[in-house]
């Protein structure tokens, strides 16, 4: 393992952290909504996202680097702020809470699409694209849930 990361390793490291954090946020959202079908969908999305994070961690190890872990205190603070924003909203509903998560997923998609072109090893670019596809799926699911619960 080198002391300095290559550009590709830095991108993989960043993709790993944001993917892990988003999986944890989806898991937190599942614990917030009371609708069982919504909980199941959110848990499923979180599980899939955790698997993608593990694949990114494996790719990082294969590149000769060790994966970092997200800042748990920061994650807890973000989750708390989202819950407070949902509770203090004039129309505090699970629908609004899920809409906040959909917005966070859009920011994640922007982050993933904003990575510079790197000289990735075979499969690494595809893995990041697969995470971005999963983010699009999550946005669609979150918007659908928000709409259904908002009725």
| Residue 112 confidence (pLDDT) | 86
Chain segment 64-75, per-residue pLDDT in tens? 877 766 667 776
Per the CB < 8 A criterion, the answer to whether 32 and 97 are in contact is: yes
What's the pLDDT band for 90 if we cut at 50, 70, 90? low
Count CA within 13 A, CB hemisphere, residue 13: 14
Instruction: Measure the CA–CA gap between 111 and 131, rounded to whole angstroms.
Output: 11
Looking at mean pLDDT, say which of 10-24, 34-48, 60-74 comes out highest: 34-48
Is 2 a residue whose pLDDT tops 60? no
Instruction: Measure the CA–CA gap between 80 and 86, rounded to whole angstroms.
Output: 10
Which residue in this structure is represented by tokens 């996202």? 49
Count CA within 13 A, CB hemisphere, residue 31: 11
Spell out the domain ranges in the chain. Answer: 7-149
Instruction: Measure the CA–CA gap between 34 and 25, rounded to whole angstroms.
Output: 16
- The CATH code of domain 7-149 reads 1.20.1260.10
State the pTM of this model: 0.83
Alpha helices by DSSP H, listed for 2-151, are 7-32, 36-62, 72-88, 94-113, 124-149
């Amino acid at each position: 393992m080198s002391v300095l990361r290559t550009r590709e390793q830095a991108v993989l490291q960043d993709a790993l952290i944001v993917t892990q954090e988003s999986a944890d946020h989806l898991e937190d959202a599942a614990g917030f909504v009371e609708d069982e079908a919504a909980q199941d969908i959110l848990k499923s999305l979180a599980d899939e996202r955790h698997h993608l994070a593990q694949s990114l961690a494996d790719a990082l190890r294969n590149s000769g680097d060790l994966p970092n872990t997200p800042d748990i205190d920061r994650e807890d603070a973000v989750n708390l702020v989202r819950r407070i924003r949902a509770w203090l909203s004039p129309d505090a509903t699970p629908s609004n809470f899920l809409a906040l998560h959909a917005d966070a997923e859009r920011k994640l998609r922007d982050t993933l699409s904003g990575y510079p072109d790197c000289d990735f090893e075979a499969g690494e670019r595809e893995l990041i694209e697969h995470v971005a596809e999963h983010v699009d799926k999550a946005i669609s699911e979150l918007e659908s849930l928000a709409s259904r619960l908002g009725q």
